[in-house]
Amino acid sequence: MDNYNDQEKVLLAVDCIIFGFDNQNLKILLIKRNFEPEKGRWSLMGGFLQNDENLDDAAVRVLNQLTGLHNIYMEQLRAYSAINRDPVDRTVSISYYALINIIEHTAEINENYSAKWFNIDEAPHLIFDHNIMVANAMLRLRYRASTKPIGFELLPKKFTMKQLQTLYEAILGETLDKRNFINKINALDILLKTEEKDMGSSRKGSYFYMFDEVKYKLKVSDGFTFKL
């Protein structure tokens, strides 16, 4: 027991990078910090690990406090342990990123945190090392987008092919060839074409699609990859 008691104590925190999509832009959800240090500046949503929870539980709790949502896609990224990253006390932080469809969930954001969605390329400078966390999360998201289909979490249940391409372009930060993109998506055979159309997109309208989750999960289990 003395070996434990003699050790210095270190705080352990989780920070959540929350991405959203509004059918046009990739966004990030930030809060205005309401306590010192750095009071009044923009920050990721975070919190300290409690004695009765593991890291995943803590990340889910932090996300729920801000959004009121459960069962949101989250992925652990990495640890940040620079000695002076938090000016108050020695703190190690584990970052997570989450994916949310903004249109479906905007009304559920907790107003107590002065939270706001920003376009990812227009986000303000953040406290501590949070900018580094966001940059690393973007690298992970872009890697995922370049290797396997994504969209379950960020798109509405029914979406047009244009919306799907716009999502990929927002994540990758580049314009994709329409014909090539559609051919590669269709070759995966993971979309269900509906009989409904979005008549606001053109005179003829654009068909709505849905992800075939069963086929997608089967392909993932078989180890397929997706290269744009």
Q: Where are the domains of the chain?
A: 2-147, 159-221
- Please confirm whether the linkage preceding 37 is cis (ω < 30° from 0): yes
Q: Which residues of 181-197 are buried (b: 16+ CB within 10 A; e: fewer)?
A: beeebeeeebbeeeeee
- Distances in Å between the Cα of 148 and the Cα atoms of 22, 168, 171, 196, 210 are 21, 11, 13, 26, 16
CA distance 72 to 98: 7
Highest mean pLDDT among 4-13, 37-46, 103-112, 154-163: 37-46
pTM: 0.89
**Is-contact 168 181, C-beta < 8 A?**
yes
Give the CATH architecture of domain 159-221: Orthogonal Bundle (1.10)
- For residue 217, name the pLDDT band (cuts at 50, 70, 90): confident
Q: What is the mean pLDDT of the chain?
A: 89
Q: For 96-133, what is each residue's pLDDT tens digit?
A: 999 988 887 765 677 778 889 999 999 999 999 999 99
Q: Are strands 191-198 and 206-211 parallel, antiparallel or unpaired?
A: antiparallel
Q: What is the CATH number of domain 2-147?
A: 3.90.79.10
Query: What are 22's two structure tokens?
Result: 């509004």
Q: Supply φ then ψ for residue 13, to 5 degrees.
A: -125, 165
